[in-house]
């Protein structure tokens, strides 16, 4: 009785002390249960990795990976991709003048001609790309208010502290607040096909379906109330400092594409993983199955050059790309699959040799005492 | 905590008895002594409240928190948490706060619950009723209200409420019987004595009239030591002073037996009782694994700090360009701009916080849980259960489980450990005539065994007399008690012969064997009655001897004596003891013949005792009494004085003869020792026995084989040569052999080279260990160690308990710092059990002190085999994998974050979402490794037992050596690179969805994290050799949990969260084909090197374990075919 009171002793947080059912003072039979678990005799599968057992796996991986890799590589190679840097760093570049002004929204326009050597079949996706732009900088990533963007009225007028220093402007809450929204990419890109005779036709660029469906419909929402009249909804707020139009006038042509659910805005708000990134800008839809979406020939890209990147040594690109089931052009996956597959196959052969040379020896060797 | 503090301060006060100033005076019944005797100084003592609880309701939270944060790990995480709270850090404080909170809460709840139980137990004890004599009446009081000086009435089978001095008993002779089973586990009844002058006060009324004071030392934890003095004021003015010793002191926790009631006075109460003082924490032993774990922690701390430093420096280099530091799109706030000076420091801290997961809180929790839960397998083990004792193995500390797999030196006691400690009287020799009681049959005594065989020719008349004197001596010189009818645990022997059935009980089994042996030779010891010992002689006549003095046995003197007065009035002193302690004191008798016989018996492995006597004249006796009483009365150095007195008394003996008792080897002791040898352990036997006996046991237990070359280093030899020469000669012999050994033995193949066994005795050992005096002598220790290291077995005989501990310490401190294990069963082994890395107690016959002080207790020596070879091996494999794996999985976890900093402007942007950061170690990857570390069996238990050499594979902490650690770390780094750069190239400036939409940084992190979780889980799956259904459930279950959690976490807009960054990220990722292909590819690539390494190592440089595994696979295949064949054949035969 006395002893048991001292039994559960404990020294400064160490989980020690007497363990086990056989503590002093228990009068019952202390014979342990003869269960498989307690006797550590649970039925078990006891696999051992030997050259013999992993051999098939190596060959299997080799045989599966190499065809997949070849498939991926071919698919990737069949993807058409065209990239155009329009930053205007060189003197000869048409956008050189525009790029010289470091200020924001100088409404400079330039047009860059280019030639597509090969036809782009099916849907063509137009991306804009930025380099040296740290969208993944911590201060930048957290500088947003998801509650505000989700249409929460409370946060519309009182945005999160995280948005600093893009939270208030002249004592008016900024909507959408934060550095990300403030730095929304605002170059306007227009694509023209130049017929051999010199006439230009604008190519229709679709601006829907460029953001995730869930973002557009769930994560981003305009504040409710005063049906459809976003002007009133946002009346107590001001637009981000760098913007020269309020959030409810982002897309003058499409009333449903305004406010927080503007797709260009949503795309921008998904911060990129790496400092060199591209974002989906427009989609050029396939017209019919006979003519390619973008036939080979001359094109012009008309740019409203608003977005300054020279200050941080950045680059701006326009990318046209077709898409396969595996996405855009990326030979990495295919090459990696082929490499890994061949390495596995090679290792399989090596192991086969080892298995034959040493396998029997090691399994039949006498165990020394 | 209270206990320990109390104890330490008391320990200070009471160190050594020389500090006698610190005594206490107790006034029995709080009665003021007659005027003039002494100044009455009422002293204040604590009441009899037992406080084993650590906390009260009020101080629980602060005190518990304080204690938890005293642990370095908890403190570290607290600091990280506080840093996160204070400065602007990349991850929210929740990520480290939540796990820390979880750990702290669980621990607090556990400790709170335990404390509540202690409170309950305390209350039950403190409130239990106690009978106190007040004003001549018996009053019932609560135990906690008992005070020093109270006279207490204790009835039969009641437990003593505090430490008491016995005043009187219901028995006329003033004795009472007590069992101290709950104190030291000895269930034998011990006799306690009342002071002669108070034993008459045996009613309430009478006791109340007693006026006396007790002076005694302040409380000390030693259970068996007590000195005090009682001064009784009878009618005369001059008080009578009587000595008080431990035989007068009834300890709290002991129980009164076979005595109707006693009166006693409380002297130590509450937390000052000897029992409370004894429940102090033993010094914490730390395992080798824990030490390597701490070393790794330091390495990782360095890695962490250097990572943070590198990133901070690079950040400032990178930021030197203001357009990078603060581009137009990403302006700083005013406050961020201002604090320039501390900015760098907070940046450093922020990086620390970002990477702090590399040292996970959960590792500590998992290791603790593994140890706690894992140790149940030892106590559950059916094979270590002893039917006879009705007990299985006992785990007293779970901190050392894995140390069982690391043992290099085994120090074992002989008696009771290697041998049964089940003594059997074999023969005796009186003046060279040998008497052998016949009719011994498997330890059962045949009825009517009163006759005897005489091997030698019948002695003459004088011889006959001597013979009877010898038998009487053996019959009288002991402390055996006779217990009638009843059965008691512990030492018991039924006597089913004659009228009474009685049992002899003694703390020494030798005595029981001797008394029983005498019974078979015709002299039956009946009982001790009224201070008279009654024996029945061969003619069935009763002989009565008055017992005058008992000079108790102690391990220093190695003998005991009694002084008796025969009915004819002659005074005899009988003494029995070890030959070495008797022979020098002999003046006459046939020494040579007896000695020859003793040696002959010893060689056969029998335990011998010599018996001698001397006649005392009246004056002699007076003198003896004088010596004894003066020594016993001394308060100061009583033990020393007693020893001196004994030395004076016990001399000038006449040798009577010798006895021989056999102690059989324990079941499978030889097999166990052989296995331990094969497992590469060195077995040392440390015994107090004499050399010949011990050596015989060693041969019997195969510690020494016939081929073993014995090196002797004993007093005998040291006499011939100087110690110096002897040592050098031995070392030369050994070193020559070593030189040849190093050439051809590398694989631990034994039997090819000469193995050596060393025998050393206590005296020589102390000479060897003596610290260097005048130069030169100091290196004996090293030479000795050198010799010992090359001997496969060492026998140290004639060892004092403390010397045992010294030896263990010596080996512990030697160059290689080997892991030592001490196993023993008796109180004399406690010191070495406490000293060794792992102390194992045997639940033996000599009480449970060893078992109580040990780290593990087993019923028999043979259980050591399974304990070490199976459990130790498993625990080591399990915990080493646990430790390595934990570091590995956190390198995999954190290194990508580190790499990511190079691509996000060193801005401390976390790669993973907060939920993933928090839950990675808590739930996604915690259970599989915990389960692995509980039930992994890389090889079957039966094989481990059959092939002890497998133990060598894990010797020297081989799975936690730096190369292995570096391999794991590099594997982690490699995997982390694969995850990160795999995802990087997959994301590189392109899309991998079929609708052209782009992914962001959170998808990137989620992709890396998904590959990470799958890789580390599958890596563990590859390491698992024992797939039970639980493993399948936990491994696949935790992967499934990860997927389900991610779907849920990204599946809804979470209210009350200010960010929705993970919304649909996981689903969108899974919706893309290349992500799946990428995950599969990265998994294969990150697991490939490890699989390759495993397969190649197994094929090219297999360890013994791996060979066994492969062999077993072939065997099971064969067996199954054989089984099938036999099945078919049996079905045919049917």
The count of CB pairs under 8 A between chains A and B is 393
Q: Do A327 and B1098 touch (CB under 8 A)?
A: no
Which A positions 293-332 lie with beta carbon below 8 A of chain B?
A: 308, 311-313, 321, 323-330, 332
DSSP type of residue B416: I
- Say if the Cβ atoms of A16 and B1113 lie within 8 Å: no
Is residue A29 situated within a structural domain? no
Residue of chain B nearest A310, judged by CA positions? B323
- B208-230 confidence digits (pLDDT tens): 888 888 888 888 777 777 888 88
Question: Which chain B residues touch A138 with a CB distance below 8 Å?
Answer: 90, 904, 907-910
Query: Are A110 and A210 found together in one domain?
Result: yes
Residue B1132 has pLDDT above 50, yes or no: no
What is the SS3 assignment for B449?
coil
**Pick from B397, B941, B1059: which is nearest to A40 by CB?**
B941
% residues pLDDT > 70 (chain B): 85
Q: Give residue-wise pLDDT tens across range B974-1013.
A: 999 999 999 999 888 788 888 889 999 999 999 999 999 9
* Amino acid B822: pLDDT: 93
Task: Match 């204070």 to its residue by tokens.
Answer: B86
- CA–CA distance, B1065 with B683 (Å, rounded to integer): 62
pLDDT at B161: 87
Q: Of B883, B891, B952, B930, which is closest to residue B287 (Cα–Cα)? A: B883
Q: Are residues A102 and A236 in the same domain?
A: yes
What is the arithmetic mean of pLDDT over B863-881?
93
pLDDT reported for residue B1022: 93
Distances (CA, A) of B853 to A220, A325, B822, B838: 68, 70, 12, 11
Query: pLDDT per residue over A12-47, tens digit each?
Result: 333 333 333 333 333 445 677 888 888 888 898 988
Strand (E) or helix (H) holding B1019: helix B1001-1023
Rounded to an integer, the average pLDDT of A117-142 is 92
Same domain, A166 and A199: yes
d(CA A339, CA A345): 10
Cβ–Cβ gap B909/A141 under 8 Å: yes
Distance of alpha carbon B126 from alpha carbon B161, whole angstroms: 9
Q: Are residues A71 and A89 in the same domain?
A: no
* CB contacts, 8 Å: B989 with chain A: 129, 274, 276-278
Q: Closest chain A residue to B1078 measured between Cα atoms?
A: A333
Contact residues, chain B, for A340 at CB < 8 Å: 1081, 1084-1085, 1088
Please check whether residue B343 touches A, CB under 8 A.
no
ipTM: 0.91
Confirm or reject contact between A182 and chain B (CB < 8 A). Answer: yes
| Interchain CB contact of B629 with A (< 8 Å) | no
Angle, helix B1001-1023 to helix B926-935, in steps of 10 degrees:
10
Residues A195 and A315 in one domain: yes
Cβ contact A32–B382 (<8 Å): yes
The more confidently predicted of residues B193 and A319 is A319
How many C-beta atoms lie closer than 10 Å to residue A73's C-beta?
Answer: 18
Tell me whether residue A363 is in a domain.
Answer: no
A75 and A211 housed in the same domain = no
Is residue B618 reached through a cis peptide bond, with omega within 30 degrees of 0 on the bond before it? no
Which residues of chain B does A347 touch, with a Cβ-Cβ cutoff of 8 Å? Answer: 1088, 1092
- B399: chain A residues, CB-CB within 8 Å: 14, 16
Q: Which DSSP string corresponds to B402-413? A: GGGGS--EEEEE
Quick: pLDDT tens for B837-850. Answer: 999 998 876 667 77
Q: Which domain holds residue A186?
A: 81-322
Shortest CA gap B368–chain A (Å): 7
DSSP-assigned beta bridge partners for residue B129:
B142
Are A280 and B996 in contact (CB < 8 Å)?
A: yes
CB-based contact, B987 to chain A, within 8 Å: yes
Q: What is the pLDDT of residue A68?
A: 94
Tell me, yes or no, whether A292 and A336 share the same domain. Answer: no
Q: List chain B residues with CB under 8 Å of A280.
A: 991, 996-998
- Say yes or no: A196 contacts chain B, CB-CB below 8 A: no
Average pLDDT over chain A reads 83
Any domain includes A238:
yes
Chain B residue numbers touching A275 (CB-CB < 8 A): 903-905
Residue contact B909–A21, C-beta within 8 A: no
Instruction: Answer whether residue A31 is part of any domain.
Output: no
Q: List A residues 134-163 in contact with B (Cβ-Cβ < 8 A).
A: 134-147, 150, 160, 162
Contacts of the segment A66-70: beta carbons below 8 A, 24+ positions apart: A66/A337, A66/A338, A66/A341, A66/A342, A66/A345, A68/A337, A68/A341, A68/B1077, A69/A333, A69/A334, A69/A335, A69/A336, A69/A337, A69/A338, A69/A339, A69/A340, A69/A341, A70/A334, A70/A338
Residues of B forming the annotated binding site for Mg(2+)?
413, 415, 825, 829
Query: Residue B444's pLDDT is what?
Result: 39
Which residue of A146, A278, A324 is in closest CB contact with B1059? A146
Q: Buried (b) or exposed (e) across B523-550, using 16+ Cβ within 10 A?
A: bbbbebeeeebbbbeeeeeebebeebee
The answer to the question of residue A124 being in a domain is yes
For residue B508, what are the contacts with CB-CB under 8 A and spacing of at least 6?
B479, B553
For residues A47-53, average pLDDT? 85
**Phi and psi for B166 in degrees, rounded to 5?**
-70, 130
Closest CA relative to residue B274, chosen from B12, B540, B11: B11
Per-residue pLDDT at B771 exceeds 80: no
Which residues, other chains included, contact A84 with Cβ-Cβ below 8 Å and sequence gap of 6+? Answer: A112, A114, A301, A317, A318, A319, A320
Tokens read off for A132: 């040296």
Does the beta carbon of B1078 lie under 8 angstroms from any beta carbon of chain A? yes
Same domain assignment for residues A197 and A207? yes
Contact status, residue B585 vs residue B650, Cβ threshold 8 Å: yes
DSSP string, A129-190: EEES--TT-HHHHT---HHHHTT-HHHHHS--GGGTTSSEETTEEBSS-SHHHHT----EEE
pLDDT score of B447: 38
Which residues are registered as beta bridge partners of B661? B425, B607
Chain A residue with Cα closest to B184: A3
User: What gap in Å lies between CA A334 and CA A196, rounded to an integer?
Assistant: 38
* Bridge partners, B359 (sequence order): none
pLDDT of residue A22: 38
Q: Which of B376, B992, B1094 sits opposite A326 (nearest CB)?
A: B992
Q: How many CB atoms lie within 10 A of CB A200?
A: 16
pLDDT at res. B179? 76
* Active site (catalytic) residues of B: 413
In a domain, A181, yes or no: yes
Q: Same domain, yes or no, for A74 and A87? A: no
- Count structural domains, chain A: 2
Residue A2 lies in a domain: no
pLDDT of residue B13 exceeding 70, the answer is: no
DSSP output for B904-940:
TTT----SS-HHHHHHIIIIITHHHHHHHHHH--SS-
What CA–CA distances, in Å, run from B1015 to A55, B106, B539?
20, 30, 88
Choose among B327, B1031, B1072: nearest Cβ to A327. Answer: B1072
Q: Among A78, A98, A70, which residue's Cα sits nearest to residue A86?
A: A98
What pLDDT, on the 0 to 100 scale, is given for residue B719?
A: 65
Q: How confident is the model at residue B187 (pLDDT cuts 50, 70, 90)?
A: low
Taking 50 as the threshold, does the pLDDT of residue B14 lie above it?
Answer: no
Alpha-carbon dihedral of residues B725, B731, B732, B738, nearest 10 degrees?
Answer: 180
Please state, in angstroms and as integers, the Cα–Cα distance from residue B814 to each residue in A268, B687, B756, B785, B837, following that order. 68, 22, 20, 8, 14
CB contact under 8 A, A277 and B998: yes
User: Between chains, do B1068 and A212 touch, taking CB under 8 Å as contact?
Assistant: yes
Burial class (CB in 10 A: 0-12, 13-18, 19+), B942: exposed
Same domain, A139 and A90: yes
Residues A185 and A284 in one domain: yes
Q: What pLDDT is stored for residue B778 in this prediction?
A: 55
The chain B residue lying nearest A281, using CA atoms, is B997
Asked if pLDDT for residue B236 goes beyond 70, the answer is: no
Q: How confident is the model at residue B608 (pLDDT cuts 50, 70, 90)?
A: confident
DSSP string, A334-359: HHHHHHHHHHHHHHHHHHHHHIIIII
Question: Mind listing the pLDDT tens digit for each residue in B278-311?
Answer: 654 455 677 888 888 888 888 999 999 999 999 9
Tell me how far CA of residue B661 lies from CA of B421, B426, B429, B454, B596, in angstroms. Answer: 10, 5, 12, 17, 16
Question: Could you give phi then psi for residue B185, rounded to 5 degrees?
Answer: 80, -5
What digits encode the pLDDT tens for the residues A166-223?
888 888 899 899 999 999 998 889 999 999 898 999 999 999 889 999 999 999 988 8
Residues of A in contact with B847 (CB under 8 A): none
CA of A302 to nearest chain B CA: how many angstroms apart? 23
Q: What are the binding residues of B for ATP?
A: 413-415, 511, 553, 576, 607, 687-689, 798, 804, 828-829
- Out of A16, A219, A368, the one facing B399 most closely (by C-beta) is A16
Q: Which B-chain residues 727-786 have CB contacts (< 8 A) with chain A?
A: 747-751
CB environment A105-118: b (16+ within 10 A), e (fewer): eeebebebebebee
The residue length of chain A stands at 369
* B942-956 pLDDT per residue, tens: 999 998 999 988 888
pLDDT band for B640, please (50, 70, 90 cuts): confident
Check residue B1041 and give left, alpha or beta (phi > 0: left; psi -120 to 50: alpha): alpha
Q: Has residue A41 been placed in a domain? A: no
Given pLDDT bands bounded at 50, 70 and 90, which one contains residue A114?
very high
Mean pLDDT taken over chain B: 81
More confident residue, A157 or B484: A157
Residues annotated within the binding site of B are: 413-415, 511, 553, 576, 607, 687-689, 798, 804, 825, 828-829
Residue A368's pLDDT is 41
A109 and A63 in one domain? no
A155-164, B254-263, B627-636: least confident range: B627-636
Instruction: Name the residue among B894, B962, B673, B885 with its Cα closest to residue B794.
Output: B673
């Amino acid at each position: 009785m006395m002893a048991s009171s001292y039994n559960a002793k404990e020294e400064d947080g160490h989980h020690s002390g007497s363990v086990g059912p056989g503590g002093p003072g228990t009068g019952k039979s202390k014979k342990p249960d003869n269960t498989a678990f307690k006797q550590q005799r649970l039925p078990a599968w006891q696999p051992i990795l030997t050259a013999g057992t992993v051999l098939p796996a190596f060959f299997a991986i080799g045989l599966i990976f190499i065809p997949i890799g070849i498939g991926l590589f071919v698919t990737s190679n069949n993807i058409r991709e065209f990239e155009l840097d329009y930053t205007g760093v060189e003197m000869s570049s048409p956008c050189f003048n525009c790029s010289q002004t470091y200020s924001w929204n100088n409404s400079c326009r330039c047009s860059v001609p280019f030639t597509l050597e090969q036809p782009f079949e099916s849907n063509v996706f137009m991306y804009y790309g930025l380099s040296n732009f740290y969208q993944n900088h911590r201060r930048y990533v957290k500088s947003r208010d998801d509650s505000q963007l989700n249409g929460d009225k409370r946060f519309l007028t009182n945005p999160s502290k995280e948005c600093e220093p893009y939270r208030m402007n002249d004592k008016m809450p900024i909507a959408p607040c934060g550095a990300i929204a403030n730095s929304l990419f605002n170059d306007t890109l227009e694509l023209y096909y130049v017929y051999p005779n010199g006439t230009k036709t604008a190519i229709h660029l679709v601006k829907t379906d460029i953001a995730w469906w869930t973002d557009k419909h769930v994560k981003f929402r305009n504040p409710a109330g005063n049906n459809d009249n976003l002007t009133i909804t946002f009346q107590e707020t001001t637009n981000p400092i760098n913007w020269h139009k309020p959030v409810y006038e982002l897309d003058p042509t499409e009333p449903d594409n305004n406010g927080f659910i503007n797709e260009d805005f949503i795309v921008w708000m998904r911060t990129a993983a790496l400092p060199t990134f591209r974002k989906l800008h427009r989609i050029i839809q396939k017209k019919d199955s006979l003519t390619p979406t973008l036939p080979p020939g001359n094109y012009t890209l008309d740019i409203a050059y608003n977005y300054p990147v020279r200050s941080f040594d950045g680059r701006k690109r326009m990318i046209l790309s077709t898409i396969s089931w595996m996405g855009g052009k990326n030979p990495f996956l295919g090459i990696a699959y082929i490499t890994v597959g061949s390495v596995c196959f090679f290792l399989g052969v090596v192991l086969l040799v080892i298995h034959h040379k040493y396998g029997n020896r090691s399994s039949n060797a006498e165990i020394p005492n | 905590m209270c206990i320990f503090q109390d104890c330490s301060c008391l320990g200070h006060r009471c160190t050594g008895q020389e500090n006698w100033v610190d005594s206490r005076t107790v006034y029995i019944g709080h009665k003021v002594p007659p005027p003039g005797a002494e100044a009455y100084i009422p002293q204040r003592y604590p009441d009899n409240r037992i406080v084993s609880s650590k906390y009260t309701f009020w101080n629980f939270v602060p005190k518990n928190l304080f204690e938890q944060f005293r642990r370095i790990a908890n403190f570290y995480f607290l600091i990280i948490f506080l840093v996160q709270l204070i400065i602007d850090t990349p991850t929210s404080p929740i990520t480290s706060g939540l796990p820390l909170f979880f750990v702290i809460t669980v621990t607090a709840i556990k400790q709170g619950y335990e404390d509540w139980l202690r409170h309950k137990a305390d209350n039950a004890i403190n409130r239990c009723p106690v009978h106190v004599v007040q004003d001549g009446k018996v009053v019932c009081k609560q135990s906690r209200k008992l005070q020093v000086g109270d006279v207490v009435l204790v009835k039969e089978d009641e437990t003593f409420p505090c430490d008491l001095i016995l005043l009187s008993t219901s028995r006329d002779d003033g004795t009472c019987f007590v069992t101290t089973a709950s104190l030291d586990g000895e269930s034998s009844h011990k006799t306690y004595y009342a002071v002669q002058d108070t034993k008459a006060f045996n009613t309430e009324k009478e006791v109340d009239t007693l006026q006396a004071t007790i002076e005694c030392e302040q409380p000390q934890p030693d259970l068996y030591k007590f000195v005090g003095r009682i001064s009784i004021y009878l009618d005369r003015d001059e008080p009578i002073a009587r000595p008080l010793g431990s035989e007068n002191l009834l300890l709290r926790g002991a129980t009164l037996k076979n005595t109707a009631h006693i009166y006693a006075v409380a002297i130590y109460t509450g937390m000052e009782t000897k029992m409370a003082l004894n429940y102090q924490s033993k010094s914490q032993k730390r395992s080798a694994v824990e030490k390597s774990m701490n070393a790794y922690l330091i390495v990782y701390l360095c890695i962490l700090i250097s990572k943070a430093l590198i990133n901070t420096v690079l950040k400032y280099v990178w930021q030197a360009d203001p357009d990078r530091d603060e581009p137009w799109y990403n302006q700083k706030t005013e406050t961020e701009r201002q604090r320039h000076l501390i900015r760098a420091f907070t940046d450093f801290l922020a990086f620390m916080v970002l990477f702090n997961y590399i040292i996970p809180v959960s590792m500590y929790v998992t290791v603790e849980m593994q140890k706690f839960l894992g140790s149940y397998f030892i106590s559950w083990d059916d094979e270590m259960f002893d039917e006879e004792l009705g007990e299985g193995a006992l785990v007293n500390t779970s901190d050392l489980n894995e140390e069982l797999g690391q043992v290099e030196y085994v120090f074992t006691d002989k008696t009771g450990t290697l041998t049964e400690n089940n003594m059997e009287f074999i023969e005796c020799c009186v003046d060279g005539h040998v008497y052998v009681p016949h009719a011994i049959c498997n330890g059962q005594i045949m009825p009517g065994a009163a006759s005897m065989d005489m091997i030698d020719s019948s002695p003459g008349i004088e011889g006959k007399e001597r013979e009877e004197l010898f038998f009487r001596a053996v019959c009288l010189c002991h402390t055996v008690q006779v217990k009638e009818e009843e059965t008691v645990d512990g030492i018991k022997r039924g006597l089913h012969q004659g009228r009474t059935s009685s049992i002899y009980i003694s703390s020494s089994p030798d005595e029981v064997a001797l008394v029983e042996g005498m019974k078979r030779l015709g002299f039956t010891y009946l009982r001790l009655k009224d201070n008279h010992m009654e024996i029945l002689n061969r003619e069935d006549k009763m002989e009565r001897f008055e017992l005058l003095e008992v000079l108790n046995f102690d391990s220093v003197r190695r003998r005991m004596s009694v002084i008796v007065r025969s009915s004819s009035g002659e005074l005899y002193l009988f003494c029995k003891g070890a030959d070495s302690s008797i022979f020098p004191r002999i003046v006459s008798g046939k020494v040579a013949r007896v000695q020859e016989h003793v040696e002959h018996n010893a060689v056969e492995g029998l335990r011998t005792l010599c018996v001698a006597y001397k006649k005392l004249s009246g004056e002699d006796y007076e003198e003896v009494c004088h010596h004894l009483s003066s020594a016993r009365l001394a308060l100061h150095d009583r033990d020393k004085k007693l020893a001196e007195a004994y030395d004076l008394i016990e001399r000038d003996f006449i040798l009577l003869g010798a006895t021989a008792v056999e102690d059989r080897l324990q079941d499978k002791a030889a097999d166990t020792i052989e296995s331990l040898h094969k497992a590469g352990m060195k077995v040392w036997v440390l015994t107090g026995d004499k050399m010949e006996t011990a050596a015989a046991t060693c041969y019997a237990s195969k510690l020494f084989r016939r081929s073993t070359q014995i090196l002797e280093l004993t007093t005998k030899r040291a006499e011939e040569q100087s110690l110096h020469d002897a040592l050098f000669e031995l070392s030369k012999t050994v070193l020559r052999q070593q030189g040849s050994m190093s050439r051809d033995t590398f694989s631990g193949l034994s039997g090819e080279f000469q193995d050596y066994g060393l025998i050393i005795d206590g005296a020589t050992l102390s000479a060897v260990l003596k610290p260097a005096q005048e130069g030169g002598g100091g290196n004996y220790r090293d030479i000795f160690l050198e010799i010992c290291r090359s001997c496969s077995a060492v026998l140290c005989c004639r060892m004092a308990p403390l010397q045992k501990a010294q030896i263990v310490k010596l080996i512990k401190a030697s160059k290689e710092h080997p892991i030592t294990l001490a196993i023993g069963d008796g109180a004399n082994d406690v010191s070495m059990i406490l000293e060794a890395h792992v102390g194992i107690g045997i639940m033996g016959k000599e009480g449970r002190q060893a078992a109580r002080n040990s780290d593990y207790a087993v019923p028999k020596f043979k259980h050591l085999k399974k304990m070490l070879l199976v459990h130790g091996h498993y625990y080591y494999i399990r915990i080493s994998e646990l430790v390595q794996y934990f570091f590995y999985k956190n390198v995999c976890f954190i290194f990508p974050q580190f790499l990511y900093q190079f691509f996000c402007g060193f801005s401390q942007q976390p790669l993973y979402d907060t939920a993933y950061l928090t839950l990675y170690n808590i739930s996604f990857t915690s259970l599989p490794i915990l389960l692995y570390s509980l039930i992994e069996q890389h090889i079957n238990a039966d094989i481990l037992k059959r092939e002890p050499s497998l133990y060598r594979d894990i010797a020297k902490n081989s799975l936690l050596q730096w190369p292995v650690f570096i391999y794991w770390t590099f594997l982690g780094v490699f995997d982390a690179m694969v995850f990160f750069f795999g995802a990087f190239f997959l994301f590189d400036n392109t899309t991998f969805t079929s609708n052209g939409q782009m992914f962001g940084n959170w998808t990137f992190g989620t992709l890396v994290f998904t590959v990470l979780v799958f890789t580390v889980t599958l890596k563990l799956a590859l390491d698992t050799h024992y797939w039970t259904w639980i493993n399948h459930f936990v491994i696949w279950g935790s992967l499934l949990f990860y997927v389900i959690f991610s779907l849920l976490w990204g599946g809804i807009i979470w209210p009350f969260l200010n960010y929705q960054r993970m919304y649909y990220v996981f689903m969108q990722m899974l919706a893309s084909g290349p992500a799946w292909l990428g995950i599969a590819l990265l998994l294969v690539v990150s697991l490939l090197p490890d699989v390759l390494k495993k397969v190649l190592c197994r094929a090219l440089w297999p360890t013994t374990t791996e060979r066994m595994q492969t062999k077993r696979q072939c065997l099971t295949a064969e067996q199954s075919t054989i089984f099938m064949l036999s099945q078919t054949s049996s079905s045919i035969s049917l």
